Amino acid sequence: MNDLLNNSPELVSLLSTYFSQRGKFLAKVINADLKSSPLKSSRQLVEVAQLADIESFKSLEESADVSVSTDTELDDLSSPNTQPLAQTIEKLLIDLIVEQTGYPAESITLEARLLDDLNLDSIKSAEVVAQTAKQIGLEGQVDPSLFANATLNEVVEALQEIQITGNTGTQHFLGATVNTTIQKDPWVRNYLIEYVAESAEQINEFDQLKHKFPVDDLVKSEILIVASSQNRDWAEGLAEELQHKGAQTAIADLMQLQQLYGHDYTHIISILPRETEAAPAAKLEKAITQLRTIGAFPEERSDGDYTSVSYIQFGGGHFGKENNVAAIDTSCTIGFAASLHLERTDLKVRAIDLPLDAESDLLIRAVIEEIVRPDTYLAVGFDSECIRYIPRPCLQDRSTYQDRNILWSNEDVVLVTGGAKGITAECALAWAKQTGVSLALVGSSAHPQDSPTGKSAVEISETLSRFQASGLTCHYYQCDVSDKASLNDLVMVIQEELGTITGVIHGAAVNRAKPVNKSTVEDALSEVKPKIMGALNLSEIFQQETLKLFAGFSSIGAVIGLPGNTWYSFSNEALDLILRDYKQQHPTTEIISIAYSVWSEVGMGAKMGAVSGLSRMGIGAISLQEGVDRFVQLMEQNPGNSQVVIAARIDGRISRQHNFDTWLPPRNSPPQNFKFLEQILMSEPGVETIVRAHLNMTKDSYVLDHIYNGSYLFPTVFGLEAMAQTVAYTLGIDSFTSFRLEDVRLERPIVVHPENGVDIEIHAEVSERVEESESLRIYVEIKTESTGFARAHFAANFVLDKTIELKTYKVPQRLVPLDIEPKKDLYGWLLFQGEKFQRIQEIYSLDSHKMVFLTEQKGSNRENSSDRADGPFLIGDPYYRDSLLHSVQPMVPEDLCLPLGIDSIEIHLNKKQFENYFIGITLRNNTENDQHDTSVIVVNRNGEVIEKLEGYNVKIMEHRSENPTAEELVSPQVRDGQLLYQELNERAQALGVEAPEATLAHLSGLHHLPTQERHQLELPLFFETLHKLLHKLE
């Protein structure tokens, strides 16, 4: 067997491909799918899978279904025999149809159509297809609704093709695409890093997801503390407390550390200096040396164990970003530490920020508590009161930005480093077009005129041409911005040629991706100098100048790190500190540091091919237009902070699988009364939430009262409640007052299996507002496991306005009920809703175009109940709301209908709290293409509209001509008389006798009258019948 594989690499490749596609198929038919192969048994297939490292097929060996004889011939890989597979699908499909219809199996042919021939409705036919797909391992890979009236043979062929090819994304059936999803650019948002006060005990379910290592056992720990002489006292205090807890400790400085390489310390704690170096170059080299020496010190582990690495700095608890801004050699560890954590999974990494005068024993104990915690990575700060802070990206509302009120003109000269290429060039061009400023673009490459064949000559020339075509003044200059003297000379040249420099955009940067333990201090210095030394040099050169604005292009790595990009991340965090320091010295200068995540079309990430790799990690990319638009806005408007993080979508479901766990917005667990939020898959507060819930008969007993033709349907109104809970959680609110739902689409019914239930997925995404006057819109959809969570069954837009005008609707003062008792006369034969949903109490008028009725709303406050049927309900009583939906049916009794969509639902919850009964008015506007277009209005006793449905469309599922019309429900006498006479004549004819005479009348309220009054009303009917008989006898 091994020889066969060794001599047949093509066979191994073919098997690998085959098994990856078919690995989940039922083991009992595998032997029938392969033929003419030198492999003779399923045992040999398992052996091949193990040797080829095919994970999806290795479980075959343990499968209870594997019972293949060793002498069974297998099909040829290149020519699969599909007949046994087709027979398997055929049998499963027919068995399910027999179960649903009761038809004998032998009477069902493969040419029968699900709707036309087998009398399954569209819901049942979809359920049959979904269950068949599930039983052959294709759960969620097909859209059952596409097979509504297919023949059984078409269903078998379609499932068989998907099973064989494993390709569901390009399969077509009946003209529709199976299991495809709409692709769109990922959302992009602006964030501020806020320092959120959190106790160590505040660990929610999201924090639990990133725990990987256990709590440290200090008794078994050997700890090395690295500190300079100025921090010796603090190091000794820390060592003493650690020793008290049972740890062994040693203290060394950076110079002594080289002598300790190879020693297996469990913890390395680096205490950064509190005093900065005076010279910028010395400052930078010192910062890099202390970070790199500690980060590269631990040897890589492959035994599942870990080493703890902690950086302690003294930046005031907010990492040197507030009050007195810290220097880069005393407080610049987050970007580096986060990157180190992402590239070294065998390290437990800490960045701990303390106040400058951190001498208390309380702070020392707090530091030790953070070090021993199970988090793989932590950035945490403490102020002088020992209040604990976590830096978290918090969503910004761009519509609230205020104008900077800077007047720009073509007399302004703005120096742009790194501005002739990539992101910086695109942004500078767009901003210059808006402001008309003159630009001096500075880069390290030679001017195209001086070096026409240079590496960047073409790109620089194209950039200059674009500026010229826009009528802008733009010159390009070559300079090494990390060389202060050269940069100073260049500034003088620019000001002589173009005029006084009034603004700076610093975009110069180098990124050489390399793990920290593979880079030297010299490597690091070479990489970071353009950004850090460039910024320091610019700050010094313009120390005596009054700049209108100083902007810097930064990276998201400065706050969350990037694997393999420790120095790039460090340099971007340093840039932010340098700009803050400049602002501290020049209060009238506007500053902004824009920390972008990767761009999809331009920039370093795109050039280095990082976009696709990050996408596989669940990290989206910013489009060119999005990135440029946000840059221009931040140049013109103040976000309220000197640093803004601009990030594309990060899908935590995927990123966590890749240990990318440093993006930590302030997430909270949902309230207990949000019962549909059982499992949170993704949460980006204020932007997006994806949750799942399992529906079943126990937790969702309302479906027992919502059975249509034998199918347990998840009601639309509970779908809206589930959506509302997800929206509220996303927005961080706990209640609604007035809001609208727009474009409510009910594309596929959600069937709850009576035994297995069904999983649903609710996905909410908030649209970003640019103007403060805009409404807040949240798109929500519900998907299910039956379509692989790939297609929306329900969808809607929640619209939250600051004010929604309350309207009135005039209702007659005195409403007299018709002689129709809804529970006895409508529910059951016409309205399928069970007792919980039977809220129509009285009907005041009814015809085929309008119904006026009384509906009841009940309160619910059973928060402790596990049954979602009991509430509490976020957007009001769903049973009452369902009465509005099914109020259409009595107007069209001959057409049995289900909801299809609603253009708009306006809901005013604050107007319902003191009433239980409301008047509903349902209007049928028109009928077209098997759909009725209707409206429903609900008013309170003051005539105020508390709920309004417009463009409510119901689909005619079945037409029953034998049912009465709406008018006949109100006045049944004529129709009932016709039915009575017809029945009497048919029975008399069958018996060979003459039909008796009869008289029928509808006497409203007869059964409530006393006997004597009732007889007085009945007596004329008796005489009329007698008169008919006598007339016949004449």
The residues facing 741 across adjacent strands are 798, 905
Q: Give the C-alpha separation, 984 to 976, whole Å.
A: 12
The per-residue pLDDT for range 579-612, each reduced to its tens digit, is 999 999 999 999 999 999 888 888 777 676 777 7
The answer to whether residue 706 is catalytic is yes
The residues facing 898 across adjacent strands are 955
My answer on whether 935 and 1017 are in the same domain is no
My answer on whether 555 and 475 are in the same domain is yes
My answer on whether 634 and 605 are in the same domain is yes
pTM over 0.95: no
Q: Give the C-alpha separation, 861 to 880, whole Å.
A: 16
825 pLDDT higher than 90: yes
Position with higher pLDDT, 92 vs 972: 92
Question: Within 10 A of 963 (CB to CB), how many other CB atoms are there?
Answer: 15
Q: Is residue 197 part of a domain?
A: no
Q: Is residue 55 part of a domain?
A: yes
- As for how many domains the chain has, the answer is 7
Q: Give the C-alpha separation, 255 to 36, whole Å.
A: 70
Domain of 770, CATH number, reads: 3.10.129.10
Q: Is residue 664 part of a domain?
A: no
Residue 304: exposure state from Cβ atoms within 10 A (0-12, 13-18, ≥19):
exposed
Strongest mean pLDDT among 194-198, 819-823, 878-882, 1023-1027 = 878-882
My answer on whether 235 and 365 are in the same domain is yes
50 pLDDT higher than 50: no
Tally of residues, the chain: 1034
Q: What pLDDT is stored for residue 131 in this prediction? A: 76
Helix (H) or strand (E) holding 45: helix 42-52
How far is Cα of residue 19 from the mean position of the Cα atoms in its chain?
32
Question: If you search the block for the tokens 């090819």, which residue do you land on?
Answer: 165
Q: Is residue 489 part of a domain?
A: yes
Residue 389: exposure state from Cβ atoms within 10 A (0-12, 13-18, ≥19):
buried
499 pLDDT higher than 60: yes
Catalytic residue among 33, 383, 882, 895: 882
For residue 285, give Cα distances in angstroms to 259, 278, 519, 590, 595.
21, 12, 14, 29, 24
My answer on whether 281 and 345 are in the same domain is yes
The answer to whether residue 1015 is catalytic is no
Give the list of residues 6+ apart from residue 749 with CB closer than 8 angstroms, or none: 123, 126, 711, 713, 714, 793, 898
How far is Cα of residue 737 from the mean position of the Cα atoms in its chain?
25
Domain termination residue (choose one: 123, 153, 177): 177
908 contacts 947 by C-beta, under 8 angstroms: yes
Q: What pLDDT is stored for residue 158 in this prediction? A: 76
Phi, psi for residue 506 in degrees, rounded to 5 = -100, 105
Domain of 565, CATH number, reads: 3.40.50.720
327 contacts 276 by C-beta, under 8 angstroms: yes
Q: What is the DSSP letter of 894?
A: T
Q: pLDDT band at 85, cuts 50/70/90?
A: low
Q: What percent of the chain has pLDDT over 90?
A: 52
For residue 258, give Cα distances in angstroms to 249, 255, 289, 311, 427.
17, 6, 12, 18, 46
My answer on whether 864 and 729 are in the same domain is no
Structure tokens at 629: 């638009």
Quote the mean pLDDT of the chain.
83
Give the list of residues 6+ apart from residue 46 with CB closer than 8 angstroms, or none: 57, 58, 60, 61
Extract the runs of DSSP E, i.e. beta strands, from 885-1029. Answer: 895-908, 917-928, 931-939, 945-959
Longest dimension (CA), the chain: 132
**Of the candidates 645, 624, 626, 641, which has an alpha carbon nearest to the alpha carbon of residue 572?**
645
Extract the runs of DSSP E, i.e. beta strands, from 660-710. Answer: 679-684, 688-695, 707-708
Q: What pLDDT is stored for residue 950 in this prediction? A: 97
Question: If you search the block for the tokens 């902004």, which residue do you land on?
Answer: 592
Q: Give the C-alpha separation, 678 to 689, whole Å.
A: 12
Position with higher pLDDT, 254 vs 836: 836
Q: What pLDDT is stored for residue 1008 in this prediction? A: 67
My answer on whether 843 and 910 are in the same domain is yes
Question: If you search the block for the tokens 């501005």, which residue do you land on?
Answer: 419
Position with higher pLDDT, 838 vs 293: 838
Q: What pLDDT is stored for residue 230 in this prediction? A: 84
Q: Is residue 815 part of a domain?
A: no
Q: Which amino acid is at 913?
A: Q
Domain termination residue (choose one: 336, 360, 391): 391
Catalytic residue among 506, 706, 763, 886: 706
Q: Give the C-alpha separation, 909 to 878, whole Å.
A: 12
**Of the candidates 885, 829, 568, which has an alpha carbon nearest to the alpha carbon of residue 716?**
885
My answer on whether 779 and 910 are in the same domain is no
My answer on whether 951 and 986 are in the same domain is no
Question: Within 10 A of 1029 (CB to CB), how many other CB atoms are there?
Answer: 11
Q: pLDDT band at 133, cuts 50/70/90?
A: confident
Give the list of residues 6+ apart from residue 100 with CB closer than 8 angstroms, or none: 120, 124, 127, 128, 710
Sign of CA dihedral 241, 246, 252, 254: negative
Q: What percent of the chain has pLDDT over 70?
A: 82
Q: What pLDDT is stored for residue 73 in this prediction? A: 36
**Of the candidates 730, 667, 659, which has an alpha carbon nearest to the alpha carbon of residue 205?**
667
Q: Is residue 817 part of a domain?
A: no
Phi, psi for residue 928 in degrees, rounded to 5 = -160, 140
My answer on whether 153 and 106 are in the same domain is yes
Domain of 917, CATH number, reads: 3.10.129.120
Domain of 150, CATH number, reads: 1.10.1200.10
Q: What pLDDT is stored for residue 80 in this prediction? A: 42
Average confidence (pLDDT) over 694-703:
96
My answer on whether 576 and 488 are in the same domain is yes
Average confidence (pLDDT) over 83-102:
71
My answer on whether 453 and 586 are in the same domain is yes
Least confident piece of the model among 131-145, 163-177, 678-692, 864-878: 163-177
Q: Is residue 1020 part of a domain?
A: yes
Which residue range is the domain that position 890 belongs to?
822-970
Q: Is residue 811 part of a domain?
A: no
435 pLDDT higher than 60: yes
Domain termination residue (choose one: 133, 152, 177): 177
The per-residue pLDDT for range 661-690, each reduced to its tens digit, is 888 898 888 999 999 999 999 999 999 999
Question: Within 10 A of 479 (CB to CB), how many other CB atoms are there?
Answer: 20
3-state secondary structure of 185: coil
3-state secondary structure of 173: strand
